[in-house]
Amino acid sequence: MSTNNHQTQLKGFIESVKAKQPHEEEFLQAVEEVAEFILPFIEENPKYKKAKLLERMVEPERAVLFRVPWLDDKNEIQINKGFRVQFNSALGLYKGGLRFHPSVNLSILKFLGFEQIFKNSLTGLPLGGGKGGSDFDPKGKSNEEVMRFCQSFMTELFRHIGSETDIPAGDIGVGAREVGYMFGQYKRLTNEFTGTFTGKGVKWGGSLLRTEATGYGLLYFVKEMMQHNGDSLEGKTVVISGSGNVAQYACEKAIEMGAKVVTLSDSDGYIYDKDGITHEKLEFVKELKNEKRARIKEYTKQYPSAKFFGDKRPWEVKCDVALPCATQNELEEEGAKALVKNGCKLVAEGANMPTTTEAIHIFEKNDILYAPGKASNAGGVATSGLEMTQNSLRLSWTKEKVDEELKAIMRKIHDQCVEYGKENNNVNYLKGANIAGFVRVADAMIEQGVV
Ligand code: NDP
């Protein structure tokens, strides 16, 4: 099929998906990113065409929407929306995080759930894809308010999840505190202590290194990419966005690997530390964000040689490697152009879909190595899979054992991207990740019949 015919086919497919959910912009963006590579692949492999696999994959198996009422500290009733999208169970039970953020809606959760299907497939573990959350904003709430919200959220969600059905984890706004409150309520409602959550506290069933896994895994993936190009991270300047879970541990591992990390950010802006963020400075950031729940600009009070740039993103800073680790669509065309102009050579996503389609095309045109989150941030869910294994075996592995498994999984994901994404002498990681992720799910769906 010619390129023109591919474009027409892609347009037709996206139009048909759009007709069913015209306002779900983020979901349509995620579908288009996958379809661009999968439709031509299906054309070359007709067994997938007859089974209408992509058409089936874009419909979630189930999505629940529910009311979450709770009492704030003034004893006033608050009402939020709760969601769980159980997207695809061809490879295993539904697995994917919960996000608490005011921007959460069905489109965002469908995009995240759809991405999760391919990501989970790439890990090689028996995990289906799902995602959930609420438009609740934990920012500025007391611990008691967060607990009451989590308990109310779980009072409905518990009937839809379970250790053999659907196992949630954290995401934006859902960390150790929220997972603890939700697990506590789940246990109380079901009278069962089962591994129905990952990201649990290590004293009560959690895996060592789960907290670090997404950020560490991202850097293991970057290491593989660089090695494949005969290079290393040693001495490279790295720009990171975000200052939450993924950003913190990406920063930690990058420093360990000998890179100089010069930025972190939050939704107010970014800090630039020309001397580089050290382990000691990072400990300060962890306390600032995880304990005090304060803003990243406080960093400049503690370290006055650093500068804060309000309402800006860090892509204008000169670097060799850029790691977007905050949220979707945070790296747009303008940021991509600035990175190219300043000599950036590699972009790897810690966040889910942080790069817009236009920005991806700029990287492609300029031969920038670009890794999509479904490959490069899969270390989190992979370690969740390892947590589930440990729960089933009723034992806990050492940090070293989990780290070795994580490294091996990231290496395998990289190998699959190379296998399916080879183009002349280069690797198209986006193509590789999409096709490799698709094949495993597609084969399972064919074997399981039209369900
Ligand atoms: P956290 O809640 O720990 O941190 C999120 C960070 O992103 C914060 O610094 C936050 O700043 C910033 N942020 C959130 N929304 C926006 C926005 N609209 N504009 C600018 N900055 C924003 O979340 P995680 O670190 O867990 O998640 C970050 C990303 O990584 C998400 O895309 C998530 O889906 C993805 N991811 C997470 C995994 C995990 O294991 N946690 C696994 C795989 C992917 P502020 O404090 O101002 O809100």
Substitution candidate for ligand 1 out of 171, 200, 240, 291 with most atoms within 8 A of CB? 171
Give me ligand 1 centre to Cα 168, in Å.
17
Does residue 307 form part of some domain? yes
376, 399, 415 — which closes off a domain? 376
Predicted local distance difference test score (pLDDT) of residue 327 = 97
Question: Do residues 53 and 71 share a domain?
Answer: no
- Band of pLDDT at residue 351, cut at 50, 70 and 90: very high
Rounded alpha-carbon distances, angstroms, from residue 175 to 138, 202, 212, 243, 320: 11, 13, 12, 13, 30
CA of 380, closest atom in ligand 1: 40
Question: Do residues 295 and 253 share a domain?
Answer: yes
Question: Do residues 353 and 221 share a domain?
Answer: yes
For 149, the token pair is 């919200």
Question: Do residues 287 and 372 share a domain?
Answer: yes
Question: Do residues 75 and 152 share a domain?
Answer: yes
Average pLDDT for residues 340-358, to the nearest whole number? 98
Structural domain range at position 69: 62-193
Average pLDDT for residues 330-339, to the nearest whole number? 98
Give me ligand 1 centre to Cα 172, in Å.
5
Rounded alpha-carbon distances, angstroms, from residue 210 to 202, 204, 401, 442: 9, 13, 12, 29
What are the tens digits of pLDDT across the range 375-428? 999 999 999 999 999 999 999 999 999 999 999 999 999 999 999 999 988 999
Given the residues 131, 281, 345, 431, select the one marked as catalytic.
131
Cα 142 to Cα 19: distance, rounded to the nearest angstrom: 42
Residue 107 belongs to a domain with what CATH number? 3.40.50.10860
What are the tens digits of pLDDT across the range 285-313? 999 999 999 999 999 999 999 999 999 99
For residue 255, pLDDT beyond 80: yes
Question: Do residues 122 and 188 share a domain?
Answer: yes
Q: Which residue shows structure tokens 């490799």?
A: 436
Predicted local distance difference test score (pLDDT) of residue 317 = 98
Average pLDDT for residues 40-59, to the nearest whole number? 94
161, 193, 225 — which closes off a domain? 193
CA 390 from chain centre, in angstroms, equals 22
Active site residue 131: yes
Average pLDDT for residues 256-279, to the nearest whole number? 98
Question: Do residues 220 and 347 share a domain?
Answer: yes
CA of 264, closest atom in ligand 1: 9
Q: What do you get for the CA distance between the two ends of the chain, in Å?
A: 30
How are strands ordered across the β-sheet holding 369-371? 307-310, 269-272, 260-266, 237-241, 321-324, 346-348, 369-371
Question: Do residues 10 and 116 share a domain?
Answer: no
- Band of pLDDT at residue 75, cut at 50, 70 and 90: very high
Does residue 47 form part of some domain? yes
Cα 405 to Cα 388: distance, rounded to the nearest angstrom: 14
What are the tens digits of pLDDT across the range 17-42? 999 999 999 999 999 999 999 999 99
Ligand 1 atom 17: the closest Cα is on which residue? 267
CA of 248, closest atom in ligand 1: 25
What are the tens digits of pLDDT across the range 76-113? 999 999 999 999 999 999 999 999 999 999 999 999 99
Question: Do residues 185 and 93 share a domain?
Answer: yes
Predicted local distance difference test score (pLDDT) of residue 281 = 98
- Band of pLDDT at residue 6, cut at 50, 70 and 90: confident
Give me ligand 1 centre to Cα 2, in Å.
40
Does residue 50 form part of some domain? yes
Predicted local distance difference test score (pLDDT) of residue 223 = 98
Predicted local distance difference test score (pLDDT) of residue 5 = 85
Predicted local distance difference test score (pLDDT) of residue 233 = 98
Does residue 205 form part of some domain? no
Cα 293 to Cα 430: distance, rounded to the nearest angstrom: 35
Cα 353 to Cα 110: distance, rounded to the nearest angstrom: 12
Count how many domains the chain has: 3
Does residue 23 form part of some domain? yes
31, 57, 83 — which closes off a domain? 57
Question: Do residues 135 and 229 share a domain?
Answer: no
Residue 266 belongs to a domain with what CATH number? 3.40.50.720
Does residue 178 form part of some domain? yes
Does residue 446 form part of some domain? no
Half-sphere CA count of 74, side-chain side, radius 13 A: 4
Q: What are phi and psi of 81, to 5 degrees?
A: -95, 140
CA of 377, closest atom in ligand 1: 43
For 430, the token pair is 């986006």
Question: Do residues 137 and 187 share a domain?
Answer: yes
Ligand 1 binding residues, C-beta < 6 A:
170-173, 175, 214, 242-247, 266-267, 325-327, 330, 350-352, 377, 380
Predicted local distance difference test score (pLDDT) of residue 70 = 98
Does residue 411 form part of some domain? no
Of residues 189, 169, 175, the one with CA closest to residue 146? 175
For residue 3, pLDDT beyond 80: no
Question: Do residues 52 and 141 share a domain?
Answer: no
Give me ligand 1 centre to Cα 312, in Å.
16
